[in-house]
Amino acid sequence: MPKRRPDHIPTRTCAACRVARPKREMDRLVRIGDGSVHRDLTGRLPGRGTYICHEPDCRDPERMAAAVRRALGAEPAPGTIAIEVNDAAT
């Protein structure tokens, strides 16, 4: 049986800025079966997913909507993917 790599940190690429970051530092958005886009708090929802980092520029609603359209092929409904920017991080 192969050994687990304790130093391995999974990375994902932000759909908006295209920068690879650790998975735990990003938010996952998922397109479910009916075509709607939701924020995935657990990281386990079934469906096509993409990631958005915590940079303020990537959280801009217009830029995030364009990134979701490109990555998921779905048009997000207004207000459905609004993610609050953590004031402590700025």
CATH architecture of 11-83: 2-Layer Sandwich (3.30)
Q: What is the pLDDT of residues 8-64, one digit of tens each?
A: 999 999 999 999 999 999 999 999 989 899 899 999 999 999 999 999 999 998 999
Q: What is the pLDDT of residues 49-72, one digit of tens each?
A: 999 999 999 999 899 999 999 999
Instruction: With beta carbons less than 8 A apart as the criterion, state whether 50 and 38 touch.
Output: no
Token pair for 73: 């092929």
1, 11, 62, 90 from 30: Cα distances, Å: 33, 17, 18, 26
